[in-house]
Amino acid sequence: MATSETVKPIKSVLITRFSALGDVAMTIPVIYPVCVANPHVSFVFATRKIPATMFVNKPVNLTVLGIDLDKYTGITGPWKLARNLHHRYNFDAFADLHDVLRTWVMKLALKRHVSSIATIDKGRREKKLLTSGKSRTPVMSTHERYKNVFKKLGLKTGEEFNTLLDYGEPIKSPMVPAKADDARWIAVAPFSQHKGKVYPWEQMQLVIGELSKTENYQIFLFGGGKEERDAFDPIIGRYNNVASVPHIKHTFIDELALMSRCDVMLTMDSANMHLASLVNLPVVSVWGATHPACGFMGWHQAMRDTVQLDLECRPCSVFGNKKCRFGDYHCMSDIDPEMIINKVKKVLQRYD
């Protein structure tokens, strides 16, 4: 269905990615340069409501729509959504960055109305070989897969993305405190949606406790939801230099503003890794069931800053949603807290 041949120049492009927050965050380092490189093209990015709010300092020719998918259910829902969007924006090209049933239906609905359609190649076969242990060859990054979709449409992909700060004013928030010159701020996002991507909380508390012993370190805990706030309660009560972001009402702009002032983020293979990448914040990422070789490494994050064990059973999952066949998730639990602490301190030493 994909084609790079058009009868006339593209004027308006529909882009879709309806999925997890991290997957949508990964589109930004690709979409922003594409928009800048094609100033005479109008781009409309359709995603879910919450992810739509993190598009800060967006290019003038980019419209981001937060779609309430509950209004477009069933097999006819995506068809109706596609036709409604086309009626409003009159697209002549469709960039499908998702390639799922919903976007398949949308492509069918728009097939007669747009001159070009390009779809992401997710590399499902190569990823299956990785998770089955039949291959150790890293697959193409998701960022590069996104970029290839726009290349198929014949669009320029632009210069390399560095930070959201390059696209507008500094990201500011009243919740970000003043920072002393000698202070080192550490963002810590200890949780993820799937157990296979979470370092045991008991061990992570040892990491936080050890880092908090350094006088000029300030630690900010990132997360969301009551369960994570409850987990943070005893930590913030125990250490004066540990604060909890989810205990304060905030937005993505507030989070990005705080991350942009931090010196390092410690996180799992999660959305926070990708949010940190948007403001050029170095990340110490901890990997268990998943693996950077599957193509979901944070934008311009360094492999030297990853923490992971070389095990025959890794990776067992692309997304970390499979149960451990051994039952103990030793890919995570066998990581010594000292390994993580040392990685964080090595990143901080670069500022000295």
Any idea of the CA torsion for 124, 315, 295, 282, to the nearest 10 degrees?
Answer: 160
What domain range includes position 116? 12-161
One domain for residues 50 and 115: yes
Report if residue 127 sits inside a domain.
Answer: yes
Residue 168 lies in a domain: no
Instruction: Pick out the chain residues at pLDDT < 50.
Output: 1-6
| Terminal C-alpha separation, the chain | 53
Question: Which of 108, 127, 161 is at the close of a domain?
Answer: 161
Q: Are residues 247 and 113 both part of a single domain?
A: no
Specify whether the CB–CB gap between 256 and 279 falls below 8 A: yes
Question: Among residues 58, 51, 70, which one has the least CA distance to residue 34?
Answer: 58
State the pLDDT at residue 4: 46
Domain boundary among 97, 130, 161: 161
Instruction: Output the CA–CA distances (angstroms, integers) from residue 29 to 157, 277, 283, in the order listed.
Output: 10, 9, 16
Torsion angle (degrees, nearest 10) of CA 128, 131, 133, 138: 80
Assess whether 192 and 340 both reside in one domain: yes
Number of folded domains that form the chain: 2
Looking at the domain assignment, is residue 27 inside a domain?
yes
The position carrying tokens 């000292």 is: 338
Q: Give the list of residues 6+ apart from residue 138 with CB closer than 8 angstroms, or none.
A: 292, 293, 294, 295
Residue 308 in domain: yes
Crossing angle of helices 226-238 and 201-211, in 10° steps, is 40
Supply the pLDDT for residue 318. 96
Predicted pLDDT of residue 2: 47
Q: Render pLDDT for 194-238 as a digit per residue (tens, 0 to 9).
A: 999 999 999 999 999 999 999 999 999 999 888 899 999 999 999
The verdict on residue 148 lying in a domain is yes
Q: Are residues 201 and 330 in the same domain?
A: yes
pLDDT given at position 8 = 74
Secondary structure of residue 119 in the 3-state scheme = strand
Q: Is the residue at 218 inside a domain?
A: yes
The residue from 98, 129, 161 where one domain ends is 161
Statement to judge: residues 103 and 202 lie in one domain: no
Do residues 218 and 317 share a domain?
Answer: yes
Shared domain check, 134 and 225:
no
Unique residue bearing structure tokens 């003038």: 60
338 lies in the same domain as 190:
yes
Instruction: Find the CATH number of the domain harbouring 342.
Output: 3.40.50.2000
- Answer yes or no: do 130 and 17 share one domain: yes
Q: Are residues 326 and 209 in the same domain?
A: yes
Q: Residue 302 falls within a domain, yes or no?
A: yes
If asked whether residues 104 and 203 sit together in one domain, one would say no
**Same domain, yes or no: 92 and 213:** no
Residue 6's pLDDT is 42
For residue range 306-348, list pLDDT tens digits in order. 999 999 999 999 999 999 999 999 999 999 999 999 999 999 9
Is residue 14 within 8 A of residue 44, CB to CB? The reply is yes
User: Could you tell me if residue 170 is inside a domain?
Assistant: no
Q: Angle at which helices 76-89 and 101-110 pack, to 10 degrees?
A: 50
Are 129 and 135 spatial neighbours (Cβ–Cβ below 8 Å)? yes
